[in-house]
Amino acid sequence: MIKKIFFTPGPSELYPTVPDHYQEALNQKIGSISHRSRQFQDIYKQTTENLRELLQLPASYKILFLSSATEIWERILQNCVEKESFHCVNGSFSKRFYEFSQEMRRHALKSEAPFGEGFYPEKISIPDSTEAICLTQNETSSGVSMSVEDINRIREKSSSSLIFVDSVSSLPYPEFDFSKINSTYFSVQKCFGLPAGLGIWLLDTSCIEKAEKLQQEGLSIGTYHSIPALLEKARNNQTPETPNVMAIYLLGKVTEDMLRTGIREIRKETTRKAEKIYAYLKSSKTFTPAVQEVRHRSFTTIVANTLVPAPEINKALEAFDMQVGTGYGSHKERQIRIANFPAHSEEQMDKLLKTLNELFG
Ligand X SMILES: *Cc1c(COP(=O)(O)O)cnc(C)c1O
Interaction between residue 340 and ligand X (CB under 6 A) = no
Cβ 262 to ligand X, closest distance in Å? 25
Interaction between residue 302 and ligand X (CB under 6 A) = no
Interaction between residue 166 and ligand X (CB under 6 A) = yes
Of 64-72, 78-86, 172-180, 279-287, the segment contacting ligand X by CB under 6 A is 64-72
Q: Considering only residues 70, 111, 314, 355, which one is a binding residue for ligand X as defined by CB under 6 A?
A: 70
Interaction between residue 92 and ligand X (CB under 6 A) = no
Q: Considering only residues 85, 101, 130, 136, which one is a binding residue for ligand X as defined by CB under 6 A?
A: 136
Cβ 85 to ligand X, closest distance in Å? 16
Give the angle subtended at the CA of 125 by the CAs of 143 and 151, to the nearest 5°: 45
Cβ 173 to ligand X, closest distance in Å? 13
Count of residues binding ligand X (CB under 6 A)?
13
Compare residues 17 and 137 and give the one whose CB is closer to ligand X.
137
Task: Specify whether the CB–CB gap between 291 and 118 falls below 8 A.
Answer: yes
Of 16-24, 100-108, 124-132, 163-171, the segment contacting ligand X by CB under 6 A is 163-171
Cβ 104 to ligand X, closest distance in Å? 17
Cβ 93 to ligand X, closest distance in Å? 4
Compare residues 140 and 161 and give the one whose CB is closer to ligand X.
140
Compare residues 11 and 240 and give the one whose CB is closer to ligand X.
11
Q: Considering only residues 68, 147, 286, 305, which one is a binding residue for ligand X as defined by CB under 6 A?
A: 68
Of 24-32, 165-173, 273-281, 322-330, the segment contacting ligand X by CB under 6 A is 165-173
Neighbours of 184 (CB within 10 A): 28
Of 33-41, 122-130, 150-158, 162-170, the segment contacting ligand X by CB under 6 A is 162-170
Interaction between residue 150 and ligand X (CB under 6 A) = no
Interaction between residue 93 and ligand X (CB under 6 A) = yes
Interaction between residue 187 and ligand X (CB under 6 A) = yes
Of 63-71, 78-86, 117-125, 171-179, the segment contacting ligand X by CB under 6 A is 63-71
Of 34-42, 68-76, 123-131, 339-347, the segment contacting ligand X by CB under 6 A is 68-76
Task: Specify whether the CB–CB gap between 189 and 196 falls below 8 A.
Answer: yes
Interaction between residue 324 and ligand X (CB under 6 A) = no
If DSSP states are collapsed to H, E and C, what string results for the chain? CCCCEEECCCCCCCCCCHHHHHHHHHHCCHHHCCCCCHHHHHHHHHHHHHHHHHHCCCCCCEEEEECCHHHHHHHHHHHHCCCEEEEEECCHHHHHHHHHHHHCCCEEEEEECCCCCCCCHHHCCCCCCCCEEEEECEECCCCEECCHHHHHHHHHHCCCCEEEEECCCCCCCCCCCCCCCCEEEEECCCCCCCCCCCEEEEECHHHHHHHHHHHHCCCCCCCCCCHHHHHHHHCCCCCCCCCCHHHHHHHHHHHHHHHHHCHHHHHHHHHHHHHHHHHHHHHCCCEEECCCCHHHECCCEEEEEECCCHHHHHHHHHCCCEEEEECCHHHCCCEEEEECCCCCCHHHHHHHHHHHHHHHC
Interaction between residue 341 and ligand X (CB under 6 A) = no
Q: Is 244 left (phi over 0), alpha (psi -120 to 50) or beta?
A: beta
Residues that bind ligand X (CB under 6 A): 10, 68-70, 93, 136, 140, 166, 168-169, 187, 196, 199
